[in-house]
Amino acid sequence: MRYTISKTIAVSAACLALQPVMTTQPAAQSTQIEASDAEKRKLDYFASKIIDDLAVLSTEGDTDSGNSVVQGHVRHFVGAAREADLNDAEITRYFLDIFTTQHSGRIPAVMVGSNGSMDIDNFLFGDAAVNRETDDAADYVDSLRLNESGASN
Amino acid sequence: MPVQAQDVLITPELPFLEFDTGSEFVFIERNQDPEARIPDFFSQTSRQCPPFCVQPMSAGEGVETVGELEVLAFLEEHVAKGTGVLIDARLREWYDRGTIPGAMSLSFTTFENPDSNPFLVPVLQLLGGEQANGAWTFDDPLELTMFCNGPWCGQSHRAIENLLSVGYPPEKIRYYRGGMQGWLSVGLTVVTPAGS
């Protein structure tokens, strides 16, 4: 059974883009996202994992392994959201709602775009999954080349 | 499928396990951080024995000893459907520090002195037992998997012995001998129960 869950969005992505450290919360706005209880539990689980990962990166500094862990949870979160039929805008709002109320301190580099501002679209939907797929494909092609090379010797 | 891509799988066919009990979403994966190490407490090799003695592989005749994959299968087949319970037999304070997702805290002390322990009665009833004239019958008991801190921990072993002594069917009990030590050694998810 599906029903409507009210979500309060504390801040927009546009506001966050100019703010590398979260110190205050702009005025709230509201939206509504439809999800079942089970879907919401799953979304909240992965969102909280991301928040935990970001807290570690924020306090202990950015590391490749830390970034890898948070990107893994982002993929699960986005995957769960898509299974719940949320579109990208709803996924972003859902995450931002939790992020802006539960994260404090420095915004980790993994969330910051090349222009120095927070890039939530890239964080949630960007290079993590795409690059991973490209890398996997490249590894596979490399392994074929190596095998061919070995066979010809 | 890039959305679910992971480097550290549980098995090639099982990248992770997830299920919903109707009140809780449970997710288990291996730690994806290639720098992760076993927590210090579980890297200790030498504890005073007794009480921290090496446990036998079997916890009793008819009781199956299982590993991590069987625990995961048990969670999916029984805990998720309400037909079984994964029991953390350690003291509550240990459970509170971190346990296997989906586990219930029932300390081994709960099962002590089964003939005279009034606190055991509601527990055995919860597990599907019926008491008449002081004797227990288990016509349709819950499936159980019990664990504690690992091969050097006798708490789940002791709890199983007490359960068997009141007639709990051994074929309904599994013993996860690896316990938290085994679980953490392969980087499987640990949760800190809510409210702990």
pLDDT digits (tens, 9 = 90+) for A110-137: 999 988 899 999 999 986 544 444 444 4
Q: Work out whether strand A105-106 and strand B143-147 pair parallel, antiparallel, or are unpaired.
A: unpaired
Cβ pair A65:B33 closer than 8 A: yes
Residue of B nearest to A79 (CA): B3
- Amino acid residing at A137: A
Q: pLDDT-derived band of residue A21, with 50, 70 and 90 as boundaries?
A: low
Mean predicted confidence (pLDDT) in A92-107: 93
Mean predicted confidence (pLDDT) in A66-95: 94
Residues from chain A contacting residue B25 (CB–CB below 8 Å): 38, 41-42, 44-45
pLDDT value at B192 more than 60: yes
The number of beta carbons lying within 10 Å of the beta carbon of residue A151 is: 7
pLDDT value at B127 more than 90: yes
Residues from chain A contacting residue B3 (CB–CB below 8 Å): 75-76, 78-79, 82, 129
Q: pLDDT-derived band of residue A139, with 50, 70 and 90 as boundaries?
A: low
Chain B residues bordering chain A (beta-carbon distance below 8 Å): 2-7, 18, 20, 22, 24-25, 27, 31-36
Q: Give the number of C-alpha atoms closer than 13 A to the C-alpha of residue A30, restricted to the C-beta side.
A: 4
pLDDT value at A14 more than 90: no
% residues pLDDT > 90 (chain A)? 48
Q: What is the pLDDT of residue A109?
A: 92
Give the phi and the psi of residue B82 in degrees, each rounded to 5.
Answer: 80, 15
Q: Which of the pair, A71 or B195, is modelled with greater confidence? A: A71
Distance of CA B93 to the CA centre of its chain: 15
Reported ipTM? 0.79
Mean predicted confidence (pLDDT) in B50-61: 97
Q: Which of the pair, A9 or A117, is modelled with greater confidence? A: A117
| Mean pLDDT lowest among A16-25, A54-63, B7-16, B23-32 | A16-25
Q: What is the pLDDT of residue B108?
A: 97
**Residue A144: strand, helix, or coil:** helix
Q: Which of the pair, B18 or A19, is modelled with greater confidence? A: B18
Q: pLDDT-derived band of residue B182, with 50, 70 and 90 as boundaries?
A: very high
Q: Which of the pair, B46 or B195, is modelled with greater confidence? A: B46
Q: What is the DSSP string of chain B?
A: -GGG--SS-SBTTBS-EEEE-SS-EEEE-B---TT----HHHH-----TTTSPPPPS-SSTTPEEE-HHHHHHHIIIIITTTSEEEEE-S-HHHHHH-B-TTEEE--GGGGSSTTT-TTHHHHHHHTT-EEETTEEE-SSPPEEEEE-S-TT--HHHHHHHHHHHTT--GGGEEEETTHHHHHHHTTB--B--TT-
Mean predicted confidence (pLDDT) in A95-118: 92
Q: What is the pLDDT of residue A86?
A: 96
Mean predicted confidence (pLDDT) in A64-75: 90
Residues from chain A contacting residue B36 (CB–CB below 8 Å): 65
Q: Which of the pair, B89 or B2, is modelled with greater confidence? A: B89
Q: Measure in Å the smallest separation between the Cα of B25 and chain A Cα atoms.
A: 6
DSSP for residue A20: S
Mean predicted confidence (pLDDT) in A91-108: 93
Q: Which residues of A38-65 are buried (b: 16+ CB within 10 A; e: fewer)?
A: bbbbbbbbbbebbbebbeebbeeebeee
Report which of A120, A127, A33, A119 is spatially closest to residue A80, judged by C-alpha positions: A33
Q: What is the pLDDT of residue A142?
A: 52
| Mean pLDDT lowest among A134-138, A144-148, B26-30, B176-180 | A134-138
Q: Measure in Å the smallest separation between the Cα of B49 and chain A Cα atoms.
A: 38
C-alpha distance from residue A129 to each of A74, A79, B3 (Å): 9, 11, 6
The number of beta carbons lying within 10 Å of the beta carbon of residue A25 is: 11
Q: What is the pLDDT of residue B169?
A: 98
Q: pLDDT-derived band of residue A33, with 50, 70 and 90 as boundaries?
A: confident
Residue of A nearest to B7 (CA): A72
Q: What is the pLDDT of residue A127?
A: 60
